[in-house]
């Protein structure tokens, strides 16, 4: 579990995060949602240790990040997997080499051990014969699966995904959503996803944190969203006619 208490982050005179408190549960897909400028990207970077914050604490399994020494922070970072918005694969490396990269960084495994481990996770994301392809030879969906394989190759305790469906068609986006959820449950990972995609929210949102103007305006599950009377949430979630109809049908069924 990741626990956040009274988190504040500013850039100069701009107060971006204003006392956020929440937790992200192990073995579940936890989503951070909100409009552009809500603070969700800054929040994610604070969780990753990329930004220092002025007030509050972030704890990983009870260990307060600010209280860790340099070596302890390094050990924690080795337990984190990250799927970047644009996949962020190394263009000069093959898909196999991309997946092996974290093993080279954080382990002392032999070349054959690293290749065996990379082969296992590539098979897990349904990439069987892509090992020697270059990233530019792979489709957007394949690149996302490579990014997921790289993120889990080191058996992380924590998985962070920044807009994992960005640039994907709806069908491929659903495949990636389901893959992330399956991996989260299979390996009992604490997964945190930064997303604006309401399809992802409704498909895999077991815990949802909604930010508005740097404040946690609401949190709950995808089922709770249908029942909330929080105006900020309903304005965001049901901005499309499709989700208005879905909510109406859900309420009618319950009544």
**Do the Cβ atoms of 31 and 38 come closer than 8 Å?**
no
Residue 93: how many other CB atoms lie within 10 Å: 14
| Maximum pairwise Cα distance, the chain | 61
d(CA 73, CA 208): 27
Which pLDDT belongs to residue 107?
87
d(CA 210, CA 218): 5
How do the pLDDT tens digits run along the chain, 255 residues long? 999 999 999 999 999 999 999 999 999 999 999 888 899 999 999 999 999 999 999 999 999 999 999 999 989 998 999 998 888 999 999 999 999 999 998 888 999 999 999 999 999 999 988 899 999 999 999 999 999 999 999 999 999 999 888 888 888 889 999 999 999 999 999 999 998 888 888 889 899 999 999 999 999 988 888 778 888 887 887 765 555 555 565 556 655
DSSP E strands in 53-130: the ranges are 55-60, 63-64, 80-83
Which pLDDT belongs to residue 124?
92
Q: What is the CATH number of domain 1-76+195-255?
A: 3.40.50.300
Residues shown for the chain: 255
Sign of the four-CA dihedral 12, 13, 14, 18: positive
Phi, psi of 228 (to 5 degrees): -70, 145
Which pLDDT belongs to residue 247?
56
């Amino acid at each position: 579990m990741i626990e956040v208490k009274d988190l504040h982050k500013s850039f100069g005179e701009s107060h971006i995060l204003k006392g956020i408190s929440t937790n992200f549960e192990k073995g579940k897909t936890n989503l951070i949602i909100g409009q552009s400028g809500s603070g969700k990207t800054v929040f994610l970077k604070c969780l990753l240790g990329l930004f220092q914050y002025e007030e509050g604490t972030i704890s990983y399994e009870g260990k307060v990040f600010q209280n860790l020494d340099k070596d302890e922070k390094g050990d924690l970072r080795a337990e984190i997997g990250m799927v970047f918005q644009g996949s962020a694969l190394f263009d000069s490396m093959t898909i196999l080499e991309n997946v092996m990269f974290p093993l080279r960084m954080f382990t002392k495994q032999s070349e054959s051990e690293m290749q065996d481990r990379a082969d296992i996770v590539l098979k897990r994301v349904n990439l069987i014969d892509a090992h020697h392809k270059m990233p530019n030879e792979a489709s957007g969906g394949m690149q996302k699966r490579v990014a997921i394989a790289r993120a889990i190759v080191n058996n992380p305790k924590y998985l962070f995904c920044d807009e994992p469906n960005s640039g994907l068609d709806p069908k491929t986006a659903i495949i990636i959503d389901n893959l992330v959820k399956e991996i989260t449950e299979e390996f009992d990972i604490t997964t945190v996803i930064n997303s604006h995609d309401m399809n992802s929210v409704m498909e895999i949102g077991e815990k949802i944190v909604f930010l508005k103007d740097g404040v946690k305006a609401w949190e709950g599950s995808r089922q709770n969203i249908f029942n909330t009377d929080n105006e900020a949430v309903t304005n965001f979630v049901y901005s499309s006619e499709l989700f208005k109809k879905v909510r109406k049908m859900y309420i009618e069924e319950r009544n």
